[in-house]
A and B are shown apart, each in its own frame.
Chain A
């Protein structure tokens, strides 16, 4: 997709989703807002883990950093008597900045770790989060977290647009913005560098790319996206607490990034939808069944986690390219003649119409074909 086409697509998607809020019930609008907030964090992970090959379990902690930055800024401003759009935009900017700064620090410290080491370190980070909030409980509110004064929807919209729909509008616009920026980065020079470093850091360094710098930048960008997600969650839930950003939530985000097809932004969308839809579907289904209160309580939440865990295992074993990879494969099988019989209209847009990074875009910097199998998404051996 060329840059212009991408902007047009993004604008269309935003308009479509905002239009959707006029027809769906307000609870569905709230869910849409949640999907969009998660999507920011997942898309950041897609860049970091998918294109960069760095598996981080710290995304929940970075989203928490965004949420707390939002909370502290919004509450301070509200106490000072600020109102209006400023009380919305400044905290959101603070959320992005706060998470990005934390991500930069983590990236500088842990950027040269890889594989299980980075995963273990970032896991320690998430596990330490409640300890951080209780240590600084006077500022961060301990286990209870913080309640946030949020700027409500503009007065002109009151009566015509529900709170939930307004939240969805905001989340849609912000997440489309984040995704478009990430797509530009992934398809541009930075994305090529990132994949080159992932596939073969030595070859990339020989080609003049600084691997350490590239990895730290990936951390920075991914964290900024997570910060936006955290800020949106803070706005929609009007709170920020350590319990909302647990290890399990980090695992959810990873699952969402993997299941959709790691490295593919379209896959991230699938993952975000699944993350919100599946627990909802399961709890709807279990509430229909006549279950005892005890059993219902046990199934609630746990069943969705079990399914997510199972999905993660199955995807790694059978379809490492995720849902989007499967769709691409089906698409190619159903319409193999399309790209042959219809020549591309513009020679400047050779990419396929989905936003998955095309394998060809990383070839110029890949020096050795031997490293092909190491890239993600990878094909499992021993099948």
Chain B
């Protein structure tokens, strides 16, 4: 029972990160109808910048801030420099462009920093603490929760309570109408990519220290998991991404804990296939079935 509780709580912590990363995919999907296959590589690039800043200043917090800023800028550059010109003449073109970016970014990171794994420091201990005799969260887990809650909460407020959020939603739902009402949709699109990329950067920064360490390919599996989460939750549904992230995190933790960590990617594959075949619109999605 203790082990079950431990695995569940541990899974929630991992799930929070997946939720944040999946949410970043959902943000881009809603704004541009693109699944950004370069999202993982972009987030890792921001994490490398954070790593460098932390190494130079000795401050984790400076690195955290740098990751957010770098993520934001990378997202804006990718949208303005590449994705804007891809066009939607074929559904494959944005995917191919994203994969090209993925290769380019990973290779450039490899050239700059080498392909070896680097250990990243965490500001808090990742050893779980005991509460009432049950091992639950580590203080790092709580830090992860807090970071993601703050950022996701901030995004929710931004989108639902501010004029900027209204503009962003209007341009995502009905770009032509939004333009008629004076919304500069082109800027909104760039901003959407930038915010999404910053969120992805935060997720990568938080998850990479708990995995093998920093490497140009460090987010490959995270991307696949987050894509699965986004599909389960419905690519259109931010709430679905968050709930799906937590659910998949717990599920992965159980699979890894009871059957072994190597089975996690296979479990994800089976889960993704099942959802795509049984409920292609996503489990939490309110919209009717989409054409898959």
Contact = CB atoms under 8 A, between A and B. Distances in A.
Direct contact of A and B (CB under 8 A): yes
A306 interface: yes
B3 to A, nearest CB: 22
Given A120-B231, A128-B266, A312 B97 contact: yes
B255 to A, nearest CB: 11
Contacts of A316: 86, 93, 96-97, 100
B91 A116 contact: yes
A298 B114 contact: yes
Interface in A44-75: 49, 53, 55, 57
A47 to B, nearest CB: 15
Given A251-B103, A305-B107, A306-B107, A373 B89 contact: yes
Contacts of A124: 224, 227-228, 265, 268-269, 272
B37 A119 contact: yes
Interface size class of chain B, counting residues whose CB lies under 8 Å from the partner chain:
35 or more
Nearest to A106: B273
A383 B85 contact: yes
A378 B264 CA distance: 38
A317 B85 contact: yes
B107 A303 contact: yes
A116 B96 CA distance: 10
With most chain A CB atoms within 10 A of its CB, the pick from B84, B103, B104, B221 is B103
A254 B99 contact: yes
A313 B231 contact: no
A376 B92 contact: yes
Contacts of A109: 273, 277
B101 interface: yes
A254 B217 CA distance: 18
Contacts of B228: 120, 124
Given A109-B273, A110-B276, A313 B265 contact: no
A132 B267 CA distance: 11
Contacts of A53: 90, 92
A131 B262 CA distance: 5
A247 B138 CA distance: 33
A297 B110 CA distance: 10
B88 interface: yes
B82 interface: yes
B103 A125 contact: no
Chain A's interface: helix, strand, loop or mixed, by majority?
A: helix
Nearest to B91: A115
A153 interface: no
A124 B277 CA distance: 15
Interface string B73-94: 0000000001011111111111
A160 B96 CA distance: 46
B111 interface: yes
Interface string A249-268: 00100110010000000000
Contacts of A115: 91-92, 95
A334 to B, nearest CB: 28
Nearest to A374: B90
A380 B85 contact: yes
A374 B90 CA distance: 5
Interface string B220-238: 1101100110010000000
B276 A113 contact: yes
Interface residues on A, range: 35 or more
Given A53-B90, A316-B86, 10 more contacts: A115-B95, A116-B34, A120-B35, A127-B265, A135-B263, A251-B103, A302-B110, A309-B99, A317-B82, A380-B85
Contacts of B88: 381
A270 B292 CA distance: 32
A254 B85 CA distance: 20
B202 interface: no
Contacts of B111: 298-299, 302-303, 306
Nearest to A318: B85
A132 B273 CA distance: 16
Nearest to A201: B291
A130 B95 CA distance: 24
B220 A247 contact: yes
A117 B232 CA distance: 11
A211 to B, nearest CB: 12
Interface in B128-146: none
A301 interface: yes
B285 interface: no
Interface string A136-148: 0000000000000
Nearest to A128: B265
A294 B95 CA distance: 34
A128 to B, nearest CB: 4
Contacts of A113: 276, 280, 292
A364 interface: no
A127 B108 contact: no
A271 interface: no
Contacts of A310: 100, 104
B93 A320 contact: yes
B84 A382 contact: yes
A308 interface: yes
A379 interface: yes
Given A121-B276, A382-B87, A306 B104 contact: yes
B264 A131 contact: yes
Contacts of A135: 260, 262-263, 266
B87 A381 contact: yes
Contacts of B160: none
Given A114-B292, A374-B90, A313 B269 contact: no
Interface in A75-127: 109-110, 112-117, 119-121, 123-125, 127
